[in-house]
Structure 1
Amino acid sequence: MCVLLPSCIVSETSGGPEPTVPVSEVLPEFASVFPFDEFNSMQSATLPAVLGTDENVVVSAPTASGKTAIAEAAIVRTVADGGTALFLAPLRALTNEKEREWERFEALGYSVYVVTGERDLDPRRAEQADVLVMTPEKADSATRKHDSRRYAFVSEVDLCVIDEVHLLDSEKRGSVLEVTISRLCRLCPQLRIIALSATMRNVGDVAAWLDAPEETTFSFGDEYRPVPLEASVATYTHGENPFADKYRRLYRALDLAEPHVRDGGQALVFVASRQDTVQAAETARDELASRDVPVGARGELDWHDETDTLANDTLRQSVIDGVGFHHAGLSRDDKDRVEAWFRAGRLAVLFSTSTLAWGVNLPARCVVLRDTYHHDPLEGEVEMSHLDVLQM
């Protein structure tokens, strides 16, 4: 990962611990839910707490170590007993990702239903769902209206999985998550909580708040990271003009990404605003072409036909050249397509705001933080929190 201040942070990957416990041994009827045959060492260490007790569980483990499988194991146990599981995802982009991934539950006859502000709510489907997927903000709204027929389903939850529980430390969103969990605990006396995080330092404090005993509280170090992370700080030439500085940081970011792209990898670059994603992608297309970096598939007719499905014409012109951008202002379908194309390796470089930082899994070999601030409509440029930087 790479942060560009008058300095910067980069990440690269390979290797990982060997898996230890076969899925078929502990969850034979649900083996098809998991996209692997064996749980790795981190996952295996938590299984006795997740599957063998009714206690709340708190897990802090490195990014990409397999925390989602812990959530899935807890969900499997709950739905197998006839209960309802709620998965709290920090972003709508992640709720969409889980909906796609958890078609595996649907194949076994268990229904998954996403409830977000951008979708029309079907109360009957929500009530009948085995697995609910919501953002903290939507869950907050639902729990406030639990006594209405429309949101009565939220009072029947047996398991709540909190993904990225370190969101509690967020200045703007932390209080929403905290009050939502507190309200759920009051509405659902039988509620069990599984809290997951990659960047939580005060694990003991969170465990105490959630009444998770020591034996079901886990904090795993970097040795459990299956994809080693190399972090560094890169500098750029700082000038007097902030606008020119922005482009100096962009060219420096491309310097860092170029060797990975030439080697067949992909780069994800975080910038401050929606407008910045568009401008950076446009500049990067020309710059990479001038450097003769092979990133696009402009001559492929099938690729042209695929990109014609995009609603945003500027985005379409960009992805044809192998460079994309992603921000909350794009339509849901356009965001989904960009994410899918990046996963498939069709896009070599992707510029994004923080919408992709919280838990959305993308195969970036190099991650660069061009900007360490974000644009607030009321406050202007606001420095990113330590939490946001770590999450990226």
Structure 2
Amino acid sequence: MLPNRAYIKVQQVRPDATAKGPPIVQSIQLVPVQALPDRFQTIFPFAMFNAVQSGCFESIYESNDNCVFSSPTGSGKTVLFEIAICRMLRGWQNGTFKVVYMAPTKSLCSERARDWKAKFESLNLRCEEMTGDSDINSLHHVQRADIIVTTPEKWDSMTRKWKDHEKLVRLIKLLLVDEVHILNKDRGAALEVVVSRMKSIGSGTRLVALSATVPNSQDIATWLGRNSDTPDIPAVHKRFGEEFRPVELKRHVCGYQSTANAFGFDAILTKKLPDVIIKYSQAKPIMVFCFTRKSCAEAAKFLAEWWKTSTPRERYWPAPTDQIAVEDKGLQSTVTAGVAIHHAGLSQQDRTAVERAYLAGSLSVICCTSTLAVGVNLPCHMAIIKNTVGYEAGAIKEYSDLEIMQMIGRAGRPQFDTSALAVIMTKMQQVKHYEQLLSGQERLESCLHLNLVEHLNAEIGLGMVPDLCAAKKWLAGTFLKVRLEDNPAHYQINGDTPDRNLGARLERICESAISELRRLELIE
């Protein structure tokens, strides 16, 4: 279990004591949407920006400085991107421009593209999604779009292939980076490289990055710089703690000893679900995230049987209020106990029936795959992550921190609850990692050094790095350089030893990488 400091308070709203005006939340005076010009107000379906949005409003709307904002899941960070777009529109009314939004997963990109296509239509902005699943004519989409929604890998691939990439990139006036804390993971290298590339090519491009709560988000601000004219001054940086989460979230990590493989361990965890529900549940809606469709079915069947064999007083959720019509045989046997499954293997008709019944209160428990954590608005009171592994490229791997936080983000229903619960069920040796993750104590480190030779080769191919001096300058513009300065012993790089002289170390790293490229005959 996490220490008490990980528990948080619900936002307290109080009126201004000295004047009539917008309320104050967490010592921040809320900003009304009417502070924006009339044409922008229709984008926001509420009258007042919340505390996080209001605390950032002046920085993001009244200036063109690069910004880094760190706040908890569910605190309304996406609205900050929308305010930044409004700011850009105010300054580029008659010019040609493009906005690029980058998120780490296709599901996040699809959700954002759907939302923004509808939202910005009134401003005559065309929003196009460009991910691995997008149309083959990606460049055509980029050329006609005003807002481009993409992943770091796709944007990296596109900018590597453009024959006239510099001309096109210079049209980009705003780069929005969502979930920037993925810098910490293997895929973070692609994000780091493409943002560094945009910094060097896209003179005048404003960068706005949003992060979950991490202790060294200031390092991201140092990396991005205030603007292209003053890159040595950090970007505007604001960090909001867990007290800004709209619903109090109590978090627990349950560790279990096991020598079984992932499937055997998962079966053990299924049998442990009643213990977790008995200990933490409050007879309110529950989501159980499972790593396979079969795991969903087994968990739902086990919980339904547990409920049916319990006396009414012993049951931890109410009986269904209505009969639920579904086609799937397994689903038919569990919905009578208020339990359902939800994954891509169900028909669209059954998935819709489950979603509607859950929102109506007829179903109390959904056993689902991690895909339900993105794109479907089904909040719960209690989120249980049963096993912390999933399938990636045909192999079983630990979920990424982003996936874990997205699943946990389903816990909390502001319209119904003042508190919510999240429980992670994992192997004992993973407990410390998840406790640090949930309490925001895990520091961000760069992963660029793990694939440095490959990425340097790409920059050389683009003509960005013609010689050793340029290579050193390129490396000096990365997040890796920022972390090398602060935590030099963390990085083990071929041909390098930790050195108090950062400049000398960067030069050695570049020389080693270039030598390796020559050995491989990739450069002359």
Residues 127-138 of structure 1: pairs in structure 2 closer than 5 A: 127-138=143-154
User: Are the structure 2 counterparts of residues 12 and 275 from structure 1 closer, same or farther at C-alpha, using a change threshold of 3 Å?
Assistant: farther
C-alpha distance in 1, partners of 2:180/2:161?
Answer: 23
User: 1:370: Cα distance to partner?
Assistant: 1.5
Q: Which residue in the other structure is 1:48 paired with?
A: 58
What is the SS of the residue equivalent to 2:215? Answer: coil
Query: Which is worse superposed, 48-57 or 135-144?
Result: 135-144
Query: Which whole-Å deviations, capped at 9, do the CAs of 1:301-340 have from their partners, x for residues lacking one?
Result: xxx4xx67xxxx68976996652334xx769979996996
- Give the letter for the 2:159 counterpart: T
C-alpha distance in 2, partners of 1:223/1:277?
Answer: 33
User: Are the structure 2 counterparts of residues 342 and 48 from structure 1 closer, same or farther at C-alpha, using a change threshold of 3 Å?
Assistant: farther
User: 1:297: Cα distance to partner?
Assistant: 8.0
Q: Quick one: higher RCO (CA 8 Å, sep 6+), 1 or 2?
A: 1
Match of 1:191 among 188, 194, 205: 205
User: Are the structure 2 counterparts of residues 215 and 128 from structure 1 closer, same or farther at C-alpha, using a change threshold of 3 Å?
Assistant: closer
**CA contact 2:104–2:151 (8 Å) conserved in 1:** yes
**CA contact 1:62–1:224 (8 Å) conserved in 2:** yes
Task: Confirm or deny that 1:266 pairs with 2:280.
Answer: no
C-alpha distance in 2, partners of 1:299/1:51?
Answer: 50
Number of aligned residues: 369
What is the SS of the residue equivalent to 1:38? Answer: coil
User: Are the structure 2 counterparts of residues 252 and 97 from structure 1 closer, same or farther at C-alpha, using a change threshold of 3 Å?
Assistant: same
User: Are the structure 2 counterparts of residues 38 and 298 from structure 1 closer, same or farther at C-alpha, using a change threshold of 3 Å?
Assistant: closer
**CA contact 2:62–2:87 (8 Å) conserved in 1:** no
C-alpha distance in 1, partners of 2:405/2:379?
Answer: 17
User: Are the structure 2 counterparts of residues 189 and 253 from structure 1 closer, same or farther at C-alpha, using a change threshold of 3 Å?
Assistant: farther
User: 1:233: Cα distance to partner?
Assistant: 3.8
CA RMSD of aligned residues (A): 4.1
C-alpha distance in 1, partners of 2:305/2:216?
Answer: 45
User: Are the structure 2 counterparts of residues 126 and 74 from structure 1 closer, same or farther at C-alpha, using a change threshold of 3 Å?
Assistant: same
Of all paired residues, the percent bearing the same amino acid is: 30
**CA contact 1:373–1:382 (8 Å) conserved in 2:** yes
User: 1:105: Cα distance to partner?
Assistant: 1.1
Q: Normalization by structure 2: what TM-score?
A: 0.59
C-alpha distance in 2, partners of 1:336/1:16?
Answer: 37
Match of 1:26 among 32, 36, 41: 36
Q: Which residue in the other structure is 2:49 paired with?
A: 39
What is the SS of the residue equivalent to 2:120? Answer: helix
Q: Which residue in the other structure is 2:119 paired with?
A: 104
Query: Which whole-Å deviations, capped at 9, do the CAs of 1:205-264 have from their partners, x for residues lacking one?
Result: 11111114557101111222221111124467x57766565334224335545799884x
Q: Which residue in the other structure is 1:7 paired with?
A: none
Query: Which is worse superposed, 332-341 or 157-166?
Result: 332-341
Q: Which residue in the other structure is 1:161 paired with?
A: 176
Query: Which whole-Å deviations, capped at 9, do the CAs of 1:251-303 have from their partners, x for residues lacking one?
Result: 4335545799884x432323344543454345445445555655768834xxx
Residues 215-234 of structure 1: pairs in structure 2 closer than 5 A: 216-234=236-254
C-alpha distance in 2, partners of 1:381/1:225?
Answer: 32
Q: Normalization by structure 1: what TM-score?
A: 0.76
What is the SS of the residue equivalent to 1:230? Answer: strand
Q: Which residue in the other structure is 2:387 paired with?
A: 371
What is the SS of the residue equivalent to 1:33? Answer: coil
**CA contact 1:164–1:359 (8 Å) conserved in 2:** no
Match of 2:323 among 299, 321, 324: 299
Query: Which whole-Å deviations, capped at 9, do the CAs of 1:99-124 have from their partners, x for residues lacking one?
Result: 23221211332221111222315544
What is the SS of the residue equivalent to 1:87? Answer: strand
User: 1:59: Cα distance to partner?
Assistant: 0.5
- Give the letter for the 2:206 counterpart: R
- Give the letter for the 1:74 counterpart: A
- Give the letter for the 1:89 counterpart: A
User: Are the structure 2 counterparts of residues 201 and 298 from structure 1 closer, same or farther at C-alpha, using a change threshold of 3 Å?
Assistant: same
User: Are the structure 2 counterparts of residues 362 and 109 from structure 1 closer, same or farther at C-alpha, using a change threshold of 3 Å?
Assistant: same
- Give the letter for the 2:100 counterpart: L
C-alpha distance in 2, partners of 1:132/1:336?
Answer: 30
Match of 1:145 among 141, 147, 161: 161
Query: Which is worse superposed, 246-255 or 191-200?
Result: 246-255
What is the SS of the residue equivalent to 1:231? Answer: strand
User: Are the structure 2 counterparts of residues 331 and 204 from structure 1 closer, same or farther at C-alpha, using a change threshold of 3 Å?
Assistant: farther
Select the structure of larger CA radius of gyration. 2
Match of 1:323 among 298, 321, 340: 340
**CA contact 1:16–1:226 (8 Å) conserved in 2:** no
User: 1:42: Cα distance to partner?
Assistant: 1.6
Residues 207-218 of structure 1: pairs in structure 2 closer than 5 A: 207-212=221-226, 213=233, 216-218=236-238
C-alpha distance in 2, partners of 1:206/1:37?
Answer: 32
What is the SS of the residue equivalent to 2:121? Answer: helix
C-alpha distance in 1, partners of 2:331/2:40?
Answer: 40
C-alpha distance in 2, partners of 1:299/1:249?
Answer: 30
User: Are the structure 2 counterparts of residues 163 and 340 from structure 1 closer, same or farther at C-alpha, using a change threshold of 3 Å?
Assistant: farther
**CA contact 2:331–2:340 (8 Å) conserved in 1:** no
Query: Which is worse superposed, 239-248 or 313-322?
Result: 313-322
Q: Which residue in the other structure is 1:170 paired with?
A: 185
Query: Which whole-Å deviations, capped at 9, do the CAs of 1:152-199 have from their partners, x for residues lacking one?
Result: 85553211111110000012x111111121222233222111110113
C-alpha distance in 1, partners of 2:351/2:121?
Answer: 20
Residues 6-17 of structure 1: pairs in structure 2 closer than 5 A: none
User: 1:97: Cα distance to partner?
Assistant: 1.6
C-alpha distance in 1, partners of 2:53/2:254?
Answer: 34
C-alpha distance in 1, partners of 2:289/2:164?
Answer: 41
User: Are the structure 2 counterparts of residues 48 and 240 from structure 1 closer, same or farther at C-alpha, using a change threshold of 3 Å?
Assistant: closer
User: 1:74: Cα distance to partner?
Assistant: 0.5
